[in-house]
Amino acid sequence: MTDAARRAGRATTPTLHDVARAAGVSLATASRVLNGSERKVADSFRERVEAAAAELGYTANLSAQAIARGTSQVIALLVADIADPYFGLIASGVARGADEDGLIVTVAITEREPQREARILHALRGQRPRGVILAASRSEEGETMTSGELAAFRALGGRTVTFGPGGDRSIRIDNRGGAERLGRAMAGLGYRRAVALGAVEGVRTSDDRLDGFTAGFESGGGEVERVYRGTFERESGAESMARALADGIEPGTLVFALSDVVAIGAMTAVRDAGRAVGADIAVCGFDDVPVSRDVTPQLTTVRVPLSDLGYQAFRATVDAEWQQEPAELEVLLRDSTPGIAR
């Protein structure tokens, strides 16, 4: 029988003892090589241990390592919806940082449900991640519900980073200021009537963007006539826009959606109603996700450097000294808001 066949017939997974015996070294030496100890091991011993581990198909028990060290090589990222490009861009930045530091990112989906977020945080404590990044926009109720879990995680030595308040360190996005600049720019293009598509009241990101846009638009002589509430999903944008159209939308009206994803849903509803996006009903969004440049007409929006912010969130999780670099938000005028001649 070949060595490979004998290994295939093993009833148990190879252990660290097996590796040490095959390499002809002590258990302590094998452990230092394979479990990431900072203690120096001679190159000749290291090579023998690594060769034996590869030959036997040994895999380190990461859970056991986490318990022994009090932490693991994992960064946990909590997002509301992985299908939303907003969170995909943040995740790409977190992953870029983790790759630089040789760490692993695990992603959990909260669906913007405070109870679900709290359950996930509770379960993660047992896995001892080095840090937790909460990227989902939360309400004050949600922050209250998860505060105890975050405190318990910190008590175990982990660091918490949140988009917005609540963590050891916070990533801050000037949603209100960016939306206010967008509102002023839309008024400057001649728009005077607007409807807004937001999330339910109490969701911080939505509230800040709606308040900012309204302030900026009104400062330029415009008026937000109605606000329709839904979610951050594309389907919600289409449904909210359909309701707005049913209530009556005059030509030359501007639609502000709290995100590009919602705005793209709204654009679909406008076309389905036989109306045109742009010269008839103007639409603008927020975030500048890649698809905003692919739709026709291209979507006016506010660029948020989401991938860079994800990278900063990772650095906030692992670096002893950290300070957030300012996130520059930029208003991008495109064909979905051609303006009104006056």
Q: Tell me what percent of the residues of the chain surpass a pLDDT of 90.
A: 57
Give yes or no for a contact between 134 and 118, defined as CB atoms under 8 angstroms apart: no
Query: Residues 153-191: pLDDT tens digits?
Result: 887 778 889 998 777 899 999 999 999 999 999 999 999
Share above pLDDT 70 across residues of the chain, in percent, rounded to a whole number: 87
Q: Which amino acid is at 267?
A: M
Phi, psi dihedrals of residue 15, rounded to the nearest 5° = -110, 170
* Angstrom distance (rounded) from CA 243 to CA 228: 8
Residue 125's pLDDT is 78
| pLDDT category of residue 3 using cuts at 50, 70 and 90 | low
219, two tokens = 């400062």
- Nearest Cα residue to 278 out of 338, 230, 201, 212: 338
Give the pLDDT of residue 51: 87
Least confident of 7-16, 208-217, 322-331: 7-16
pLDDT of residue 255: 98
Partnered with residue 224 across adjacent β-strands are: 194
Look at residues 193, 129, 134 and name the one whose alpha carbon lies nearest to residue 163: 134
Q: What is the mean pLDDT of residues 317-338?
A: 93
Residue found under tokens 């979507």: 299
The mean predicted confidence, pLDDT, of the chain is 87
Please give the residue that has the higher pLDDT: either 119 or 67.
119
Mean pLDDT of 282-305: 97
- Domain range 3-60, its CATH number among 3.40.50.720, 3.90.550.10, 1.10.260.40, 3.40.630.30: 1.10.260.40
Question: 68-171 in CATH: which number?
Answer: 3.40.50.2300
pTM: 0.78
Assess whether pLDDT exceeds 80 at residue 11.
Answer: no
Q: What pLDDT does 82 receive?
A: 86
Question: Domain-by-domain residue ranges, the chain?
Answer: 3-60, 68-171, 175-304+328-332
Domains 3-60 and 68-171 share a fold: no
- Architecture of the domain defined by 175-304+328-332: 3-Layer(aba) Sandwich (3.40)
Provide the pairing of β-strand 74-79 with 330-332.
unpaired
Query: Quick one: pLDDT at residue 212?
Result: 98
Each residue's pLDDT tens digit, 226-261: 999 999 999 999 999 999 999 999 999 999 999 999
**Would you place residue 4 in the very low, low, confident or very high pLDDT band (cuts 50, 70, 90)?**
very low
pLDDT at 66 over 90: no
Q: What is the pLDDT of residues 84-136, one digit of tens each?
A: 999 999 999 999 999 999 899 999 998 888 888 888 888 887 777 888 999 97
